[in-house]
Amino acid sequence: MNLLVTGAAGFIGSHFVRLVQRVRPTWNVFIVDALTYSGNESTMVDLLSAGARFFHARIEDRAAIANIIEENAVTHIVNFAAESHNDRSLQGSSFLTSNAFGVEVLAHLTKEYKLERLLQVSTDEVYGSIAEGQFYETTPIAPNTPYSASKAAGEMVCRAHWKAFQTPIVVTRGGNTYGPYQYPEKLIPFFTVRLLLGKKVPLYGDGSQIREWIHVEDHAAGILAALEHGILGEAYNVGDDNERENRETVQLLLAATGQDNALVKSIEDPRKGAHDARYSMNTAKLRSLGWEPKVPFDRGLTETVEWYKANTSWWSELLNNASYQDFIRQFYGKSLGADL
């Protein structure tokens, strides 16, 4: 297989390539990444040394992607490339260019070059929020933020291509993912690095929002299962039966970093009515392909914190980046004030 992985300089994409290199060593892996704020060359060092080839390009650049497909006889694509943060999307940034138009480019090229499969990596956030029960793949999508709406738009492009052209596409919808190499803007890495620095962390409201966490290695394995065995035109939920309130997760992070509640500051939720109260997905469909999550949350979280402790050079460089500092100031400056 000649596999093109887009967005592999980022969090989940890089772990997916590591998994492929470990369990499918005969596959040829080609990486495309735009190296935006959350994509970093330092995240790919081991991937490239293990034989992956890197191309600096954006997925919406049709000519560039077509050239890569032609020159490397690409047979499969897994698309992780995306703008991927709700809070950033609330600042007015348009995510449609990469999350929708970029997907359309990949779908058209998959059809044009008669590739065997395009796997679109999506998110559970396209479903919106659910008070009770679980999301199934047949649940109507109802995104509540500009980010999740852009991901839903990408999914609709995939659906339309499958219906209109039978373009060989599979979609995965992943839950809240954590682990090493995650850019420090999502809850677990953001809180971890701040707590390691002895800085206060901002908890929205009373922290009663419920999230379903999955370790990045389990998420990557679920995507691989869908790539190899998923039914064309279908979507697959990738999650773990592990629901926790955000305040419970924060308590575990305090314990793992040796800090206490004095560093937790409750702030007003900037998402207003757009903050999804609870996510929960049924994963029986993906499990029927032989996949199941293997990393218990308590162990995975402890190991993740230990990784950040041991790799301060990786994340401290990111924290000093001007774009990261601007984001933190713009989004948390008012609520954290002197504690920023």
For CA atoms 317, 319, 321, 323, give the dihedral sign: positive
Residue type for position 134: Q
pLDDT beyond 80 at 276: no
Domain ranges of the chain: 2-177+213-238
Report the mean per-residue pLDDT for the chain: 92
Tell me the whole-structure pTM to 2 decimals.
Answer: 0.94
State yes or no: pLDDT of 250 exceeds 80. Answer: yes
Query: What local confidence, expressed as pLDDT, does residue 37 receive?
Result: 76
Query: Which of the 8 DSSP states describes residue 338?
Result: G
Q: Name, in order, each residue with C-beta under 8 angstroms of 110's C-beta and a sequence gap of 6 or more.
A: 77, 117, 118, 161, 167, 168, 169
**Residue range 159-180: mean pLDDT, rounded:** 98
Q: Which residue has the higher pLDDT, 241 or 256?
A: 256
Q: How many CA atoms lie within 13 A of 22 on its CB side?
A: 11
User: Mean of the pLDDT values across residues 66-74?
Assistant: 98
The whole-number pLDDT of residue 279 equals: 87
Nearest to 283 by CA among 226, 331, 340: 226
Q: Is the CB of residue 37 less than 8 Å from the CB of residue 323? A: yes
**pLDDT above 80 for 275:** no
Per DSSP, the residues of 82-146 read ----HHHHTTT---HIIIIIHHHHHHHHHHHTT-SEEEEEEEGGGG---SSS-B-TTSPP---SH
Taking 70 as the threshold, does the pLDDT of residue 87 lie above it? no
pLDDT at 108 over 90: yes
Specify the pLDDT at position 333: 79
pLDDT on residue 323 = 80
The better pLDDT of the pair 269, 178 is held by 178
Q: Is the pLDDT of residue 237 over 60?
A: yes
- pLDDT for res 89: 44
Element (H, E) at 20: helix 11-23
Least confident among 55-59, 156-160, 216-220, 329-333: 329-333
Specify the range with the lowest mean pLDDT, choosing from 27-31, 36-40, 91-95, 165-169: 91-95
Third-level CATH fold of 2-177+213-238 = Rossmann fold (3.40.50)
Instruction: Just list the catalytic residues.
Output: 124-125, 147
